[in-house]
């Protein structure tokens, strides 16, 4: 059996394209429809109820595209909206928290894991809950890094100011003795080189985007949802507002070929 419908992926901005890149490398036969909520980026500083509402509106748009599965390529949305989406969506849905937590526990040697993310992700405690559910003895040190997403969206990936901000955020985690760091925001892999410079070589980095892609592959295997083996996967990108720096950052940092970007109006409940 095969299913040529696209995999739907959404995020608040460009960060989720790190998941798209990982999916393209791992599942080259799959069609992908990516939706970036650039009109309302970032989600990380907003309340849990607002992030949940935005996530429902984004998945409503993906359902219109007849997707066969939904990937929440946003840690903030995964942290607060996944249970609601699992309950309401008619297609399978995957977030980035659980795959990242599983990979962190496989990587850590001293059972002390650091997590960086947006305020919404860190405040939710989602990574701590998932990590401790898998290993009650793990020690977790978490740090909200609200300045990183705007710097990434601005394209300041190799910049002295960005390096200084990263060092300010990561210094306390290194001092506390972490040996593994979860990049708990799908934007953050775009800063992997800068983040690595701020860490001792003994600290392992866990990329939630790559681990999310592997979880998607397992889902397609389980539910026989793979596209035909002889097909060549396509990528469609839609945004809720004009791209601004979006395309330049994506092409430069991820080497993704993005064609014409579509615009989508958010479907508020009153319009449905």
Active site residues: 74, 185
Would you call 66 exposed, middle or buried from its count of C-beta atoms within 10 A (0-12, 13-18, 19+)? exposed
Would you call 161 exposed, middle or buried from its count of C-beta atoms within 10 A (0-12, 13-18, 19+)? exposed
Residue 162 near residue 191, CB atoms below 8 Å: yes
The span from the CA of 220 to the CA of 226, in Å, is 5
Q: In the chain, which ranges are E strands?
A: 7-11, 32-36, 69-72, 93-94, 112-117, 139-144, 180-183, 204-207, 235-239, 262-263
SS3 116: strand
Report the half-sphere exposure of 72 (CA within 13 A, side-chain side). 34
């Amino acid at each position: 059996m095969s299913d040529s419908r696209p995999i739907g992926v959404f995020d608040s901005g460009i960060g989720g394209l790190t998941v798209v890149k990982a999916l393209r490398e791992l599942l080259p036969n799959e069609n992908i429809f990516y939706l970036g909520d650039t009109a309302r980026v970032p989600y990380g500083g907003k309340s849990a109820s607002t992030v949940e509402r935005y996530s429902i509106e984004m998945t409503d748009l993906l359902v219109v595209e007849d997707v066969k599965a939904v990937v929440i390529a946003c840690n903030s949305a995964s942290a607060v909206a996944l249970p609601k989406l699992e309950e309401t969506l008619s297609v399978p849905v995957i977030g980035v928290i659980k795959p990242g937590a599983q990979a962190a526990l496989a990587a850590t040697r001293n059972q002390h894991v650091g997590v960086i993310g947006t305020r919404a992700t860190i405040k939710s405690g989602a990574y701590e809950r998932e990590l401790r559910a898998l290993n009650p003895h793990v020690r977790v040190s978490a740090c909200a890094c609200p300045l990183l997403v705007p710097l990434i969206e601005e394209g300041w990936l190799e910049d002295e100011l960005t390096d200084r901000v990263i060092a300010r955020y990561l210094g306390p985690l290194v001092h506390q003795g972490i040996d593994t760091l979860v990049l708990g925001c799908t934007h953050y892999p775009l800063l992997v080189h800068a983040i690595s410079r701020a860490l001792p070589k003994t600290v392992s980095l866990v990329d939630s985007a790559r681990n999310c892609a592997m979880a998607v592959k397992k889902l397609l295997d389980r539910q026989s949802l793979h596209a035909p083996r002889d097909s060549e996967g396509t990528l469609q990108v839609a945004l809720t507002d004009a791209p601004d720096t979006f395309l330049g950052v994506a092409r430069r940092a991820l080497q993704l070929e993005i064609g014409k970007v579509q615009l989508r109006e958010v479907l508020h409940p009153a319009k449905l």
